[in-house]
C-alpha cells in the first residue's frame, strides 16, 4: 500500500527540513559545520520475492553527515580568537575527558586558564618558567600572570672606531681626567635582581696601532677592581691592536668583575666585554654598536598566537617568551565523530584515535591568531534545499491523498 511509502517519505522530508533549519539557524555560529541528511531506500525482505518484482516500501534516514569543509576566516584582533586553517580540531578538557571543537573563541578565566564560553579548557603543550615547551603530552593551558625573571648581563658587545690620527696619551689614566683617554662610552647592565648599573669603557692610545682599554662602573665612576677573572690595575682590562689596514688583530674580548651594592642582595657579576668589529680608521672616534644580553624583570602586557600554535607573551621589559603551544587533533574519519552539541565532538571507534600534533605538521592545519573561522553554511544553497525539501514533503502528502482516493473508489464498487 502507498501509505507506508508516503509516511516514510514524510518522515524523511521532515528530518531533512530539521537538518536544513539547523544549518540556517547556525549560519552565524563560529566554527559550525553544516549537516546533510543522508537517506536509504527500504525493501521488504522475502526469499520468495523475485528481485525484479520488488517495489520498495519507502525510505529511511541513514545518517546526518557533517560537512567539514573550511569556513571563511574573519579577523577580530582579539588575542585569544584563533582560527584553524586546514585540518584539525582544538582539544578541550571537559571534566577529565577530552572533546574536540573547531570553535576558536577563547578567553582567560580568573585563574589564568584559557577557556571557551562553556568553561572548557584549551589543551596544548606547557612551557616552563624559561619558556621551554614540553611536547611530551598535552595539558590544559594556563597563562602565567607572574613577572618574567630578570637575567644578569654576562656579555657586552661594543664596536668602536678609534681615530688612527689621535695623539698618544702619556699621562696616567684616571676616570675623572678626560685628558688621560681619547674616547669613552657607557652602557647600562643588569644585576642578578634586574637592577641597573652603569659600566663605562675608555680607550687611551699608547702607541701607533695600540690602545689601552679601561673599564669602570657606577656613578660616580670607579675603576673596575683586580678581581678574578680580571687582573685590572687602575681599571686597565687589556690592550687592543690593529694592523696597517685598521683591522683589529688582538684584544677582542676581556672579562672582568664588578661589585654590586648590598641593596637588595644582588651578587657581584662577571661579564665579558667583546670589542669584535672595532676598527682604527682615520675618522672621528666613536661608538658604532653596543649590545648587552641582560634585562630586568617584566610584567606580561599581552600575548599572541603564531601559525604553529605558539603562545608568546610580550613583557614590559621588551622581551618575549613562549607561554605554551596549542596542539590540534586530526582524525582518519572526521564523520565518525559524535556531535555532542555546543559545537563540540567526541571521539568514537568510527572516527579512530586522535592524531595530536603541532599546527602545521603533516595532515594538520595552521592557526591564525586574532581571527575566527565562520560557519561553512551557504545560506543561498540552504534556502534552495529548503524549497526542495518542502516540495518533497508536499509530494509525499499528495501520495497519501491519492491513496485515499483509490481506497474510496474501491469502497464504492
Average pLDDT, integer, range 324-346: 95
How many Cα atoms within 13 Å fall on the side-chain side of residue 272? 9
Share of the chain above pLDDT 90, in %: 63
Q: What is the CA radius of gyration of the chain?
A: 37
- Contact between 121 and 92 under an 8 Å Cβ cutoff? The reply is yes
Comparing C-alpha atoms, which of 79, 80, 120, 72 is closest to residue 100?
120
What is the number of other CB atoms lying within 10 angstroms of the CB of residue 258? 23
- pLDDT of the residue at 262: 47
Average pLDDT, integer, range 200-218: 95
Using CA atoms, how far residue 99 sits from 118, 120, 137, 368, in Å, is 12, 9, 16, 21
Asked, as a colleague might, if the bond just before 220 is cis with ω within 30 of 0, I would say: yes
CA-to-CA distance for 115 and 99, rounded, in angstroms? 13
Cell (9 digits) for 101 = 571543537
CA-to-CA distance for 243 and 210, rounded, in angstroms? 9
Share of the chain above pLDDT 70, in %: 91
pLDDT at 133 over 90: yes
The dihedral through the CA atoms of 408, 409, 410, 413 has a sign that is: positive
Q: Is 53 helix (H, G, I), strand (E, B) or coil?
A: helix
- pLDDT of the residue at 76: 95
Residues whose CB falls within 8 Å of the CB of residue 95, separated by 6 or more in sequence, listed in order? none
CA-to-CA distance for 295 and 262, rounded, in angstroms? 20
Cell (9 digits) for 13 = 522530508
- pLDDT of the residue at 19: 87
Comparing C-alpha atoms, which of 266, 264, 316 is closest to residue 146?
316
- pLDDT of the residue at 50: 54
Comparing C-alpha atoms, which of 196, 206, 195 is closest to residue 162?
206
pLDDT at 136 over 80: yes
Q: Is 165 helix (H, G, I), strand (E, B) or coil?
A: coil
Element (H, E) at 11: helix 2-25
SS3 content of the chain, % helix, strand, coil (to 5): 15, 40, 45
> Which residue carries 529548503 as its cell?
386
> Which residue carries 536509504 as its cell?
40
Comparing 260 with 56, which gets the higher pLDDT? 260
Q: Is 407 helix (H, G, I), strand (E, B) or coil?
A: helix
Chain mean position to CA 400: 59
pLDDT at 220 over 60: yes
> Which residue carries 606547557 as its cell?
126
Comparing C-alpha atoms, which of 197, 198, 163, 208 is closest to residue 183?
163
Cell (9 digits) for 127 = 612551557
Residue 407, phi then psi, degrees to nearest 5: -60, -40
Element (H, E) at 261: none
Task: With cut-offs at 50, 70 and 90, classify the pLDDT of residue 397.
Answer: confident
Task: With cut-offs at 50, 70 and 90, classify the pLDDT of residue 112.
Answer: very high
Q: Is 47 helix (H, G, I), strand (E, B) or coil?
A: coil
Domains, the chain: 2-69+375-411 (no CATH), 73-148+300-373 (no CATH), 155-292 (2.60.98.20)
Asked, as a colleague might, if the bond just before 182 is cis with ω within 30 of 0, I would say: no
pLDDT tens digits, 18-35: 888 888 999 998 989 998
Amino acid at each position: 500500500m502507498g501509505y507506508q511509502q508516503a509516511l516514510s517519505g514524510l518522515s524523511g522530508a521532515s528530518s531533512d527540513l530539521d537538518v536544513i533549519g539547523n544549518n540556517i539557524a547556525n549560519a552565524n555560529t563560529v566554527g559550525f559545520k553544516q549537516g546533510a541528511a543522508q537517506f536509504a531506500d527500504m525493501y521488504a525482505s522475502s526469499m520468495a520475492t523475485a528481485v525484479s518484482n520488488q517495489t520498495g516500501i519507502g525510505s529511511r534516514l541513514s545518517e546526518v553527515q557533517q560537512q567539514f569543509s573550511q569556513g571563511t576566516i574573519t579577523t577580530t584582533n582579539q588575542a585569544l580568537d584563533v582560527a584553524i586553517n586546514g585540518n584539525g580540531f582544538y582539544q578541550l578538557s571537559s571534566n577529565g575527558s577530552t572533546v574536540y571543537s573547531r570553535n576558536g573563541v577563547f578567553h582567560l578565566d580568573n585563574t589564568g586558564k584559557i577557556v571557551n564560553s562553556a568553561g572548557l579548557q584549551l589543551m596544548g603543550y606547557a612551557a616552563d618558567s624559561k619558556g621551554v615547551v614540553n611536547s611530551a603530552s598535552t595539558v590544559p593551558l594556563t597563562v602565567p600572570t607572574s613577572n618574567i625573571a630578570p637575567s644578569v648581563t654576562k656579555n657586552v658587545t661594543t664596536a668602536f672606531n678609534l681615530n688612527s690620527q689621535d695623539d698618544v696619551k702619556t699621562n696616567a689614566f684616571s676616570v675623572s681626567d678626560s685628558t688621560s683617554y681619547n674616547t669613552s662610552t657607557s652602557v647600562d647592565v643588569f644585576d642578578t635582581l634586574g637592577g641597573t648599573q652603569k659600566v663605562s669603557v675608555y680607550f687611551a692610545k699608547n702607541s701607533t696601532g695600540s690602545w689601552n682599554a679601561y673599564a669602570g662602573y657606577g656613578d660616580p665612576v670607579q675603576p673596575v677592581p683586580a678581581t678574578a677573572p680580571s687582573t685590572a690595575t687602575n681599571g686597565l682590562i687589556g690592550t687592543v691592536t690593529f694592523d696597517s689596514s685598521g683591522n683589529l688583530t688582538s684584544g677582542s674580548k676581556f672579562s672582568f668583575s664588578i661589585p654590586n651594592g648590598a641593596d637588595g642582595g644582588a651578587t657581584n657579576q662577571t661579564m665579558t666585554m667583546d670589542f669584535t668589529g672595532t676598527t682604527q680608521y682615520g675618522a672621528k672616534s666613536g661608538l658604532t654598536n653596543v649590545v648587552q644580553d641582560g634585562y630586568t624583570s617584566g610584567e606580561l602586557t599581552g600575548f599572541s598566537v603564531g601559525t604553529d600554535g605558539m603562545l608568546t607573551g610580550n613583557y614590559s621589559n621588551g622581551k618575549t617568551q613562549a607561554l605554551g603551544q596549542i596542539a590540534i587533533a586530526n582524525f582518519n574519519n572526521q564523520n565518525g565523530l559524535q556531535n555532542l552539541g555546543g559545537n563540540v565532538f567526541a571521539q568514537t571507534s568510527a572516527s579512530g584515535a586522535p592524531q595530536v600534533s603541532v599546527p602545521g605538521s603533516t595532515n594538520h592545519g595552521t592557526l591564525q591568531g586574532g581571527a575566527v573561522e565562520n560557519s561553512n553554511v551557504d545560506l543561498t544553497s540552504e534556502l534552495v534545499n529548503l524549497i526542495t525539501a518542502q516540495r518533497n514533503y508536499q509530494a509525499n502528502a499528495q501520495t497519501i491523498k491519492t491513496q485515499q482516493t483509490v481506497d474510496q473508489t474501491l469502497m464504492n464498487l
